[in-house]
């Protein structure tokens, strides 16, 4: 064979091989285009690029001693990967069953899977991204990574590890009514979590994610990937120990008495800081929840409002503590309303005795004598006590005071004047009336309630809220001294002397009653009677002011007052144990 023939054979052979490969490629192209075309078109549609948000961690919420009452923490989940189901074999399935069984033994509380057995994963797991483990916290996460079987399955792509952000509340439902929640599973945002969410939420980051036709995800770098900016921290005035104390004391009493609702709040006298606040609403017998800001609902304050009436009368020298009044008859008005007192009260009473007996007739006659011809003066004095302003708190559904004036359609002349003086025909949040009692304890200095003290980022203050003085002097010193003495004798000698006995230190205040039928949160199926205590302690050197309210279906005022007293006694006794320094002087009795 000559050289020419040899070269031609090689050339023909090379072109033959090339033609053969070209023919195979052409056949594959025809197969892909016409035979498998629909399959590949669907796979292209399935593959996608999406932008996923990396959620920022919401800021912490702290109590007054910097205990964490709300926090965002990372949690981890483990799922079966689509890659495993795609490459599943008997050997792989056996190995994964073994791994899953080991994880269930290692994390029994976090396991979210049925039993995986020899029947096969395909029968046991119907979801291609089935959840195996959930809610693994940061304390247990290193234990998961140190598990060699899991780490190998994760590295091989059989298992997917996901990171989520969860809002947790270390003290459970204590303070839920004021702190609120941020979890969709229990109703979504509410209260502080809702109203300050713009500060708490932080700034999320974005990440481009590509998902292929098999469901595998790949993170696509897009230059400088932004990192989430965590939210700001909020420091509250709440004292978690006092919050738990008030919560338990009120809950115990509500379950004992046939009550439909209840609330309580403790305020620091000098600063106005709310140290504890509790709201309970009954959903079924002996079951109470704390979803509503019941204490902020504007309702008629009842005869607890007599403090404001007598303060105005004394401050304008319309009456004195020794002034006498005849309370033998009822007061009737042309619009059909009537003011009457409890039976067995003396016919003639002094101002001091009328106040501690909660005589509405006495207050009505005093106000009629002083302001019948010029009721605007009395209403202006009430406005000077800030009863025409809201509380301005970062809480949802805070009620606004409702006081009719002489030009209002609700005004009915003398009837309205007397009813307002007795705490009827007006609406007021209980916490707002507590401001007045707190001001009496604070030597006439009225401060607004404070719940949020500071908003910080990285422990650097962003917003600081200091004491907000509403009225630097609510009345004269002489009037203040008289009012303080009247509140003290109301407990030691008044209608509450049988229910309130001062075991450890002196208490000043009033136990009042009112009809809360106008309350939108009240149980409409019951005829509710609200009994409240407004006051402060220790009376000789006040540290805390307090309001306790119980809505009961029975009208036994003594039983209702006794129930309120038991809550008060439990709270004050426990506070004495924590702070024995509050008892400085012996309890004063029978002050005249």
3-class SS letters over 153-167: HHHCCCEEEEEEEEE
Do residues 249 and 204 share a domain? no
Q: What pLDDT, on the 0 to 100 scale, is given for residue 118?
A: 44
DSSP assignment of 145-209: HT-HHHHHHHHTTSEEEEEEEEEE-TTTTTTHHHH----GGGTS--HHHHHTHHHHS-B-EEEEE
**By C-alpha distance, which of 160, 61, 143 is closest to 102?**
143
Phi, psi angles (nearest 5°) of residue 124: -80, -40
Do residues 338 and 278 share a domain? yes
Pick the last residue of a domain from 236, 253, 281: 236
Cα separation of 307 and 227, whole Å?
57
Cα separation of 406 and 412, whole Å?
8
With the C-alpha atoms ordered 51, 57, 58, 59, is the resulting torsion angle positive or negative?
negative
Do residues 395 and 484 share a domain? yes
| Residue 69 domain-assigned (yes or no) | yes
Q: What pLDDT, on the 0 to 100 scale, is given for residue 189?
A: 61
Q: Kindly report whether the global pTM for this prediction surpasses the value 0.75.
A: yes
**By C-alpha distance, which of 63, 391, 396, 51 is closest to 197?**
396
Question: Would you call 330 helix, strand, or coil by DSSP?
Answer: coil
| CB 235 within 8 Å of CB 62 | yes
Do residues 471 and 563 share a domain? yes
**Looking at residue 355, what DSSP letter applies?**
H
Do residues 426 and 495 share a domain? yes
Q: What pLDDT, on the 0 to 100 scale, is given for residue 519?
A: 40
Do residues 158 and 297 share a domain? no
Cα separation of 47 and 59, whole Å?
36
**Total count of domains within the chain:** 2
Residue count (the chain): 592
Do residues 494 and 553 share a domain? yes
Cα separation of 311 and 479, whole Å?
7
Do residues 407 and 258 share a domain? yes
| Residue 592 domain-assigned (yes or no) | no
Do residues 63 and 152 share a domain? yes
Do residues 220 and 277 share a domain? no
Do residues 205 and 282 share a domain? no
| Residue 41 domain-assigned (yes or no) | no
| Residue 526 domain-assigned (yes or no) | yes
**By C-alpha distance, which of 268, 321, 360 is closest to 489?**
321
Do residues 179 and 304 share a domain? no
**Looking at residue 215, what DSSP letter applies?**
S
What CATH number is given to the structural domain containing 336?
3.40.710.10
Distances (CA, A) of 517 to 20, 279, 388, 427, 551: 94, 18, 22, 11, 10
**By C-alpha distance, which of 208, 269, 327 is closest to 484?**
269
Phi, psi angles (nearest 5°) of residue 167: -90, 125
Question: Over its length of 592 residues, how does the chain's per-residue pLDDT go in tens digits?
Answer: 678 788 878 888 888 888 888 888 888 888 888 877 777 766 665 566 677 777 888 899 999 999 999 998 888 888 877 666 555 556 566 777 777 788 888 888 877 765 555 444 544 554 445 778 888 888 888 888 888 888 887 777 777 888 888 888 898 888 887 888 776 444 456 678 888 888 888 888 777 777 765 556 666 666 555 678 888 999 999 999 999 999 999 988 888 777 778 899 999 999 999 999 998 888 787 777 776 677 888 888 988 999 999 999 999 999 998 888 877 666 666 555 666 666 666 778 888 888 888 888 888 889 999 999 999 999 999 999 988 888 888 777 788 899 888 888 888 888 889 889 988 889 999 999 999 999 999 999 999 999 999 999 888 888 888 888 999 999 999 999 999 999 998 887 654 554 454 456 688 999 887 755 444 434 444 445 788 999 999 888 899 999 999 887 655 556 677 888 889 988 888 887 777 666 544 443 333 2
Domain interval for residue 287: 240-582
| CB 144 within 8 Å of CB 258 | no
DSSP assignment of 77-111: EEEE-HHHHHT--HHHHHHHHHHHHHHHHH-TTTB
Pick the last residue of a domain from 236, 259, 285: 236
Cα separation of 362 and 329, whole Å?
10
What CATH number is given to the structural domain containing 186?
3.90.1310.10
Pick the last residue of a domain from 189, 204, 236: 236
Distances (CA, A) of 576 to 248, 253, 336, 503, 539: 17, 20, 49, 10, 14
| Residue 143 domain-assigned (yes or no) | yes
Question: Would you call 449 helix, strand, or coil by DSSP?
Answer: coil
| Residue 114 domain-assigned (yes or no) | no
| CB 312 within 8 Å of CB 417 | no
Cα separation of 380 and 484, whole Å?
23
| Residue 34 domain-assigned (yes or no) | no
Cβ within 8 Å of residue 197, ≥6 positions away: 182, 189
Residue 418 burial (CB count, 10 A): 28
| Residue 94 domain-assigned (yes or no) | yes
């Amino acid at each position: 064979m000559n050289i020419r023939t040899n070269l031609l054979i090689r050339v023909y052979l090379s072109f033959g091989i090339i033609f053969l490969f070209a023919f195979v490629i052409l056949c594959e192209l025809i197969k892909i285009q016409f035979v498998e075309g629909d399959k590949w078109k669907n796979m292209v549609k399935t593959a996608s690029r999406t932008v996923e948000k990396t959620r920022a961690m919401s800021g912490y919420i702290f109590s007054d001693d910097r205990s964490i009452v709300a926090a965002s923490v990372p949690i981890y989940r483990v799922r079966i990967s689509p890659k495993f189901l795609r490459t599943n074999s008997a050997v792989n399935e056996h190995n994964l069953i073994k791994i899953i069984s080991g994880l269930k033994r290692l994390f029994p509380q976090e396991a979210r899977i049925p039993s995986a057995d020899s029947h096969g994963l395909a029968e046991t797991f119907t979801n291609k991204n089935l959840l195996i483990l959930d809610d693994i916290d940061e304390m247990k996460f290193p234990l998961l990574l140190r598990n060699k079987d899991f780490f190998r399955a994760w590295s091989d792509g059989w298992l997917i590890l996901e990171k989520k952000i969860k809002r947790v509340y270390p003290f459970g439902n204590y303070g839920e009514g004021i702190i609120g929640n941020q979890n969709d599973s229990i109703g979504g945002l509410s209260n502080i979590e809702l109203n300050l969410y713009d500060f708490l939420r932080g700034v999320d980051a974005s990440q481009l994610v590509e998902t292929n036709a098999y469901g595998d995800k790949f993170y696509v770098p897009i230059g400088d990937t932004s990192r989430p900016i965590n939210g700001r921290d909020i420091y509250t005035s709440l004292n978690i120990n006092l919050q738990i104390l008030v919560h338990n004391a009120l809950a115990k009493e509500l379950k004992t008495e046939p009550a439909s609702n209840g609330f309580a709040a403790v305020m620091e006298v000098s600063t106005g800081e709310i140290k504890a606040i509790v709201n309970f609403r009954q959903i079924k017998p002996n079951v109470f929840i704390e979803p509503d800001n019941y204490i902020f609902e504007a309702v008629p304050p009842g005869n607890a409002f007599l403090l404001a009436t007598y303060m105005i009368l004394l401050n304008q020298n319309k009456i004195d503590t020794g002034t006498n009044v005849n309370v033998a008859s009822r007061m009737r008005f042309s619009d059909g309303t009537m003011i009457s007192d409890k039976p067995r009260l003396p016919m003639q009473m002094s101002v001091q005795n009328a106040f501690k007996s909660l005589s509405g007739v006495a207050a009505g006659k005093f106000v009629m004598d002083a302001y019948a011809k010029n009721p605007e003066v009395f209403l202006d004095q009430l406005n000077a006590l800030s009863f025409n302003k809201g509380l301005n708190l970062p809480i949802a559904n805070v009620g606004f005071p409702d006081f009719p004036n002489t030009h209002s359609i609700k005004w009915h002349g003398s009837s309205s004047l007397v009813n307002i003086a007795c705490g009827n025909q007006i609406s007021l949040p209980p916490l707002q009336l507590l401001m007045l009692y707190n001001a009496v304890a604070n030597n006439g200095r009225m401060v607004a309630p404070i719940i949020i003290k500071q908003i910080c980022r990285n422990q650097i203050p962003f917003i600081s809220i200091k004491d907000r003085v509403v009225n630097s002097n609510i009345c004269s010193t002489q009037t203040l001294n008289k009012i303080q003495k009247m509140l003290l004798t109301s407990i030691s000698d008044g209608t509450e002397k049988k229910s309130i006995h001062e075991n450890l230190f002196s208490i000043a205040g009033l136990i009042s009653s009112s009809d809360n039928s106008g309350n939108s949160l009240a149980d409409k199926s019951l005829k509710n009677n609200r009994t409240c205590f407004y006051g402060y302690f220790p009376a000789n050197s006040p540290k805390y002011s307090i309001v306790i309210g119980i809505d009961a279906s029975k009208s036994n005022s003594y039983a209702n007052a006794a129930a309120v007293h038991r809550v008060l006694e439990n709270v004050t006794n426990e506070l004495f144990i924590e702070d024995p320094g509050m008892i400085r002087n012996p309890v004063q009795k029978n002050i005249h």
